[in-house]
A and B are shown apart, each in its own frame.
Chain A
Amino acid sequence: MTTRTEPARSPSPGTAPAGRRSHVPGDGSATAAAVEAARKGMLHDARDLKRTRIGADVLCEALLRQGVDVFFSYPGGVILPLYDVLGDYPELRHVLVRHEQGGAHAADGYARVTGRVGVCMGTSGPGATNLVTGIGTALLDSVPMVAITGNVPSALIGKDAFQEIDINGITLPMTKHNYLVRDADDLPRVIAEAFHIARSGRPGPVHVDITKDALQQETRAEHPSEAEVVAGLPGFRPNLGGHTRQLKTAAGEIAAAQRPVILAGHGVLHAEAWDDLRAFAEKTSIPVAWTLLGIGAMDETHPLAYGYMGMHGWKHVNRAIQSADLLIAIGMRFDDRVTGNVRTYAPYARIIHVDIDPTEIGKNVAVEVPIVGDAGRVLRALAPMVPETSMDDRRAYLDQLADWRRDSEASSWHGSGAWREGVLSADYVVQRIGELTDHQATYVADVGQNQMWLARYAGFRNPNSHVSSGGLGTMGFSVPAAMGAALGRPDRETWAITGDGGFQMTFQELMTLVADHIPVKIALLDNKKLGMIRQWQEIIYAGNYHSSSLPGPDFVKLADAFGIPAFRARTPGDVDDVIRSAQAVDGPALIWFEIAEEQNVFPMMPAGKGLSDLIEKWDGPDE
């Protein structure tokens, strides 16, 4: 450890800029020595700090070098050295969240709509543990994120100091990598590595813990180039291009297949490979199904776009998978919500599995053709190797899929038109939000029924326009993630679609929306229930409703208390008016949709069952 002592603290008002506080706690002005040091070149580019450059400056410089324009944070004791210098970096927008979990989800939402690394911060102890849910959410959904926490001074580490917790130990199994920095000289390298790791290969969260003394320590350490960063990480060499022999095998499988289906996942979005996917599908006339996180990889109006798969996916899509003779899985991981019982999954299909992470291949299902690589690169390499096949060549197959789709859409609750009889149905609300925003907004789901309704009925046209906590299933995700998504893509309207349960977990961020003028429109689908829990209790637990009824407050009054215009809808006839009213608000707005209390999401595949065992409606237990 090379923590240096602070420069002598003789006050010298003549050399300190008037009104400028020093970074040194308890010191009223910059010292002559510090100013001298600054003049000798301890500057960030042309920035003349008129004081010593400390670890906290290095952190700000590193964030700017990484192209960070906004981050989400909450101050606390040991991260105060950062807050002491933040004023010198006005181009780094700091959003003061109301809870660190909100900050982590906001960074996540920002990352998902921009494809860039989201940044959140917190102090030691509770600040750090509050970030953990957000870090876990990012890990399970492979979202590039750098989470930074302060920690107690090095000398106090391991002493159970005030607000000390072994946050490195906590985040170890739930990050791609993590760091503890005790020396400011290490900061430039560590921050650069953290961003490189977070966004390269399969993206994911990286946690950097920095001791208070490192943040305060004077340093001249220089920032590494990207080449130096790569050279310094000999154990991190993501494999991007597919193996030629496997690509040839895959091309042969595709040429021979009669009933192929493409399964598009989040990896297509991470690789920004949506054009490659569409071109590949068009050349081969293979229909495309998508996972929850693969929504947006294909414009849903495209003739080859077939639909959303899995536990609450469309029956026709699951049917196509169950009858397929070839699955071309791209950037997805055969999650249990996608496959159900693996033994009965796609029983007739051979599988080509493209994923950038070799651990995903052969993890959940055995595959015939493994291809490790970036979705875009593999699709571009594969496209010239496969024969051109027109939709007419596949006419009989595609006609059958079209029949199945008509049948499945007509048989859903949505197709039944229940909302026309005066019941305010959630799927109708979601459908109208999609239509009245011309399908051009960013739509951020919470978790549970609202998430499934959104995935099924909003109608997605654009990549990175759907944000959803798929892997971890984090209730309370929607409002804070929408906050980050709105800042990441201010050119789009941002809608948070949430239920009354998730909303009540993180609605403190309403105040952040107001304070920072972040124009998120919140559609609160209130069935006064934990709807998905209630649905499971009804269907799987014989109607034993325990703790799934959830009385809530008057949400219009609640929003009003935050200064957010709020609207209330109770019947289908109210829906268009309230959506248009919310859109007309310059800033955040909330709509309280009092939806049918006992509406279920169908079809539904009970956990442990297979894709062919969908429940399509429920009239009570079989007797």
Chain B
Amino acid sequence: MTADPNSNGRLPVADATTPRATTPAPSHAPPTRALPGSGEVRRHVLVAVVLDKPGVLNRVSSLMRARNFNIDSLAVSHTDRPDVSRMTITLHGDDVAVEQAAKQLYRLIDVLKVQDVTSEPTVEHELALVKVRATDGNRAEILQLVELSRGRVVDLAEGSVVVEVTGTEAEIDAFVALVRNYGIKELVRTGAVVMARGSGSIEEAIKR
């Protein structure tokens, strides 16, 4: 416990959390109210369709910060509609906390639609560029790993290769783990983008 700043250096004798009996204890304890959420924490994927206006990314990230949600990744791009952008946000939280995040996002004036696609059948892809340390001795070995991982070498240089891999977050994690032993000089990942399978369209479902 830290000393209260107004305490003249003395430690407060009691603080707000110290229990102090003021009412007689009830003969039987009442039931305890469940807190919202406090369920299992897992990874969620939110898709937000937003108006392509200056500052909209700032509004989204500012909200997530202010409401104490931790974003794992955030990918933003244009859509086929010139005035509309799309964000894919991955974050960890329990169902209630993520639902709260989705509702808070939806409340932003520039946000047209928010969907939690975590439990839906989706195609999920992420792209990574990995600059791997390579020597004449192990280059062939690395290239073979790249091929097996359905990756692509996009740059070859004395002492390194730059590999492009795409796939789910887990697939990329796996590739990165594979090449880590050779030495990773640089790594960049786009963050996941997802699309629901089937003929449904989040863009066609936006609020109007």
Interface residues of A (CB under 8 A from B): 168-169, 172-173, 176-177, 197, 233-237, 322, 342-348, 357-359, 362-366, 540-542, 544, 546-547, 606-608, 612-616, 621-622
- The answer to whether B188 has its CB under 8 Å from any CB of chain A is no
Q: Closest residue to B10 on the A side, CB-wise?
A: A544
**A residues in contact with B15, CB < 8 Å:** 540-541
Listed by A's residue number, 5 A-B pairs whose Cβ atoms lie within 8 Å are A237-B207, A343-B35, A347-B30, A363-B36, A614-B22
Excluding A234-B112, A366-B96, 7 further A-B contacts by CB distance (< 8 Å) are: A197-B109, A234-B51, A235-B51, A366-B33, A540-B15, A542-B13, A546-B7
Smallest CB–CB gap between B69 and chain A, Å?
Answer: 13
- The answer to whether B180 has its CB under 8 Å from any CB of chain A is no
- The answer to whether B201 has its CB under 8 Å from any CB of chain A is no
How far is B63's CA from A139's CA once the two chains are assembled, in angstroms? 14
Smallest CB–CB gap between A472 and chain B, Å?
Answer: 15
Number of B positions contacting A (CB below 8 A): 46
Partner of B7, one of A235, A342, A544, A606: A544
Partner of A233, one of B55, B62, B109: B109
Chain A: interface secondary structure?
loop
- Kindly specify which of B99-107, B147-155, B157-165, B169-177 makes contact with the partner chain: B99-107
- B1-49 with Cβ < 8 A to chain A: 4, 6-8, 10, 12-17, 20-23, 26, 30-36
Partner of B32, one of A173, A235, A344: A344
* Residue of B20, B33, B59, B66 with most chain A CB atoms under a 10 A cut-off: B33
Instruction: Please judge, given known A-B contacts A606-B16, A613-B23, whether A235 and B109 are in contact too, CB under 8 Å.
Output: yes
**A residues in contact with B36, CB < 8 Å:** 362-366
How far is B32's CA from A28's CA once the two chains are assembled, in angstroms? 75
**A residues in contact with B7, CB < 8 Å:** 541, 544, 546
Instruction: Please judge, given known A-B contacts A541-B12, A608-B17, A613-B23, whether A366 and B109 are in contact too, CB under 8 Å.
Output: no
Smallest CB–CB gap between B114 and chain A, Å?
Answer: 10
Complex interface bits, B83-111 against A, C-beta within 8 A gives 1, otherwise 0: 00000000000001001100110111111
**A residues in contact with B12, CB < 8 Å:** 541-542, 544
- The answer to whether B199 has its CB under 8 Å from any CB of chain A is no
B33 engages A343 (CB within 8 Å): yes
**B residues in contact with A608, CB < 8 Å:** 16-17
Smallest CB–CB gap between B163 and chain A, Å?
Answer: 39
How far is B102's CA from A362's CA once the two chains are assembled, in angstroms? 13
Instruction: Please judge, given known A-B contacts A235-B108, A366-B33, A541-B12, whether A173 and B17 are in contact too, CB under 8 Å.
Output: no
How far is B137's CA from A374's CA once the two chains are assembled, in angstroms? 71
- The answer to whether B206 has its CB under 8 Å from any CB of chain A is yes
* Residue of B10, B36, B106 with most chain A CB atoms under a 10 A cut-off: B36
Q: Closest residue to B108 on the A side, CB-wise?
A: A235
Q: Closest residue to B31 on the A side, CB-wise?
A: A347
B107 engages A359 (CB within 8 Å): yes
A541 engages B4 (CB within 8 Å): yes
**A residues in contact with B30, CB < 8 Å:** 322, 344, 347-348
A177 engages B109 (CB within 8 Å): yes
Partner of A365, one of B13, B33, B59, B110: B33
**B residues in contact with A348, CB < 8 Å:** 30-31
* Residue of A235, A236, A359, A616 with most chain B CB atoms under a 10 A cut-off: A235
How far is B63's CA from A197's CA once the two chains are assembled, in angstroms? 18
Instruction: Please judge, given known A-B contacts A236-B109, A359-B107, whether A173 and B66 are in contact too, CB under 8 Å.
Output: yes
Smallest CB–CB gap between A501 and chain B, Å?
Answer: 15
A359 engages B100 (CB within 8 Å): yes
B111 engages A359 (CB within 8 Å): no
Smallest CB–CB gap between A161 and chain B, Å?
Answer: 20
Q: Closest residue to B12 on the A side, CB-wise?
A: A541
**B residues in contact with A176, CB < 8 Å:** 109
**B residues in contact with A359, CB < 8 Å:** 100, 103-104, 107
- The 6 A-B pairs of least Cβ separation, nearest first, read A542-B13, A347-B30, A546-B6, A177-B109, A359-B103, A366-B36
How far is B10's CA from A196's CA once the two chains are assembled, in angstroms? 53
